[in-house]
Amino acid sequence: MRLFNIILKDIRDKVKYYIKTFGCQMNVYDSQRIAHILQNMGHTAADAPADADIIIFNTCHIREKAAEKLFSDLGRINLIKEERQAAGKETIIGVVGCVVQAEDEQIAKRAPFVNFATGPLTYYRIPEILGKIAQQKNICLIDTEFTSESKFDHLPQNRAEGGCSYLAIQEGCNNFCTYCIVPYTRGVETSRPVEEVLKEARRLVETGTLEINLLGQNVNAYHGEDAAGRERDLAHLLRRLAEIDGLQRLRYTTSYPADVNDDLIACHRDLKKLMPYLHLPLQSGSDRILKAMNRRHNRGQYLEIIAKLRDANPELGFSSDFIVGFPGETDQDFEATLDMVEQVGYIQAFSFKYSRRAGTPAAVYPDQIDEKVKSERLNILQEKLFSQQLNFNKGCIGRIMPVLFESKGRKKGQLFGRTPYMQNLHARVPAELINRILPVRVTDATANSLGGTVIQQSD
Ligand code: SAH
Ligand code: SF4
Ligand code: F3S
């Protein structure tokens, strides 16, 4: 009971928390906001779970493996809980995120030692939940109700954790791609009002942010209200954000190809702050499969959007997500994907074997593809994507690029930063230059990272 008493007694600085994050950037953003909630309660971050009084897992449900791994990870955390208990220390284990929304009953059944579980839209209630736990030991509180309230109305003010910040502007998805669990875990699509986003962005810049990455499951479907109650799109928001003094870089992710409009394309021509890198998931290069996936774009439309974007800004580099082995995918369909990769030329990409998600339409489609075939196709695709990425990176050798240094690098004396194209770059830079954008001459390249030297401004 010690921890619970500590909470009640208000000796709050003794309580430490540890948050482990799985999944996409939206979860990273949510974890930062949960940290802010806990910090506002007076709690501080622990370096390791064994030192933490509150351990929170922020979970992802996108593929089966990710969800299954959660239960083995939770098992390990329970061992830590037991060890701490033997040493007279209580531990609260919380699970948040997308798995909770889909598998709340499983969590209660398979991991009864979990003290609370709350979905991605309701974690703002954590202080209330911790209050209830303080009064009643060994309960498992599950809170997965979709609410009409916006979590953003209840969260503390955001603040920068470094030079790059995520800012969620849109959440949920109405697209219902037939393979995807997200519409069921994050709910229907909602957009935050324009002024609210601007306020959060200004605050991030005031506290040290140089780069903002706008987030949404379908970010370019953004349709937030402005001060006059008028619906505004992502292009409008980007233009307003670009006016913020001190903000140097803007990005947005993830975009849905069919929702790229002409104004958004024009932003890539007009806005210097908008980085020349766009993640535009294609998923498959076969029109037949795209249809079965319920994607609202085909090959021709996708290529047309890419051409228009390149016309607006010839420097643009593209990345994509791909799924191989969707039910019914033939060799010919897969060849069509390889052909699209060839035609577009990606500078980065993420590719996955199709994973059956219970409750989604494709999970019960006939013609599920053999795991071996999926693996073979994934290897072939990844080899092709790898060589495109390597070629692009090698082509950067000799170029001078502005790099935002974010953190310490792997080796001593090195910092880690990102180029405008989101490439990882390591360079020997003094640690006090973290959170600065410096010109770097690229000297070497692998498929996954670049090396370089900071040049004097007068070079
Ligand atoms: N909203 C984004 C991506 C969300 S999920 C979009 O529409 O592109 C991130 C990626 O996971 C997807 O782009 C897709 O490639 C992959 N993914 C989603 N569901 C999957 C599944 N059931 N099996 C394999 N990959 C999946
Ligand atoms: Fe999932 Fe499709 Fe929505 Fe992306 S657009 S989150 S893949 S349903
Ligand atoms: Fe995973 Fe949820 Fe993101 S399922 S990919 S954490 S929206």
Does ligand 1 have an atom closer than 6 angstroms to the CB of 57? no
| Alpha-carbon span 342 to 417, nearest angstrom | 29
Between 194-206 and 234-242, two packed helices, what is the crossing angle to 10 degrees?
30
Chain centroid offset of residue 147 CA: 22
| Alpha-carbon span 14 to 253, nearest angstrom | 38
Pocket around ligand 2: residues whose beta carbon is below 6 Å from it? Answer: 173, 175-177, 180, 182-183, 217-218, 256
- Distance of CA 411 from the midpoint of ligand 3 (Å): 32
Bridge partners (DSSP) of residue 441 are 400, 453
- What's the chain's average pLDDT? 93
- Distance of CA 12 from the midpoint of ligand 3 (Å): 32
Q: Which atom, in ligand 2's list, is nearest to the CA of 295?
A: 2
Q: What's the DSSP call for residue 419?
A: -
Q: Which atom, in ligand 1's list, is nearest to the CA of 181?
A: 19
Q: Over pLDDT 90: what percentage of the chain?
A: 83
SS3 387: helix
Does ligand 1 have an atom closer than 6 angstroms to the CB of 179? yes
Split at pLDDT 50, 70, 90, the class of 5 is very low
| Alpha-carbon span 327 to 340, nearest angstrom | 20
Split at pLDDT 50, 70, 90, the class of 102 is confident
Contact 31, 60 (CB under 8 A): no
Query: What is the per-residue pLDDT for 143?
Result: 76
The label of the residue with tokens 């495109």 reads 388
Contact 344, 318 (CB under 8 A): yes
- Distance of CA 429 from the midpoint of ligand 1 (Å): 37
Of 24, 61, 101, 175, the one to substitute when testing ligand 2's pocket (max ligand atoms within 8 A of C-beta) is 175
Of 34, 184, 185, 323, the one to substitute when testing ligand 3's pocket (max ligand atoms within 8 A of C-beta) is 185
Ligand nearest to the CA of 337: 1
Does ligand 3 have an atom closer than 6 angstroms to the CB of 185? yes
Contact 268, 255 (CB under 8 A): no
Contact 255, 280 (CB under 8 A): yes
Q: Where are the alpha helices (DSSP H) in 261-330?
A: 262-270, 287-292, 299-312
| Alpha-carbon span 221 to 242, nearest angstrom | 19
| pLDDT over 80 (residue 160) | yes
pLDDT tens figures, 186-219: 999 999 999 999 999 999 999 999 999 999 999 9
Helix (H) or strand (E) holding 27: helix 25-40
0.85 exceeded by pTM: yes
| Alpha-carbon span 126 to 56, nearest angstrom | 11
The label of the residue with tokens 């309580």 reads 15
Q: Which atom, in ligand 2's list, is nearest to the CA of 218?
A: 5
> According to the 3-state scheme, what is the secondary structure of 385-440?
HHHHHHHHHHHCCCCEEEEEEEEECCCCCEEEEECCCCCEEEEECCHHHCCCEEEE
Between 126-135 and 25-40, two packed helices, what is the crossing angle to 10 degrees?
50
Bridge partners (DSSP) of residue 428 are 414
Q: Which atom, in ligand 2's list, is nearest to the CA of 174?
A: 3
| pLDDT over 60 (residue 9) | no
| Alpha-carbon span 421 to 29, nearest angstrom | 21
Query: What is the per-residue pLDDT for 1?
Result: 38
> Nearest residue CA, atom 18 of ligand 1?
180
Query: What is the per-residue pLDDT for 12?
Result: 44
Does ligand 3 have an atom closer than 6 angstroms to the CB of 182? yes
> For 134-291, where are the E strands, in sequence order?
141-143, 164-168, 170-171, 190-191, 211-215, 224-225, 231-232, 249-253, 277-279
> Nearest residue CA, atom 11 of ligand 1?
62
Q: What is the dihedral of CA 205, 208, 211, 214, to 10 degrees?
A: -60
Between 262-270 and 299-312, two packed helices, what is the crossing angle to 10 degrees?
30
Contact 262, 302 (CB under 8 A): no
Q: Which atom, in ligand 3's list, is nearest to the CA of 66?
A: 1
Q: Shortest CA distance to 281 belongs to which of 273, 271, 293?
A: 293
Does ligand 3 have an atom closer than 6 angstroms to the CB of 27? yes
pLDDT tens figures, 60-95: 999 988 777 888 999 999 999 999 999 999 999 999
Does ligand 3 have an atom closer than 6 angstroms to the CB of 100? no
Does ligand 1 have an atom closer than 6 angstroms to the CB of 256? yes
Least confident of 144-153, 237-246, 292-301: 144-153
Does ligand 1 have an atom closer than 6 angstroms to the CB of 254? yes
Contact 223, 191 (CB under 8 A): yes
Does ligand 3 have an atom closer than 6 angstroms to the CB of 58? no
Bridge partners (DSSP) of residue 449 are 424
Bridge partners (DSSP) of residue 277 are 317
SS3 94: strand
The one-letter amino acid at 382: Q
- Distance of CA 180 from the midpoint of ligand 1 (Å): 6
The radius of gyration of the chain's CA atoms, rounded to the nearest angstrom, is: 23
Q: Do the bridges between strand 141-143 and strand 116-118 make them parallel or antiparallel, or are there none, so unpaired?
A: parallel
SS3 155: coil
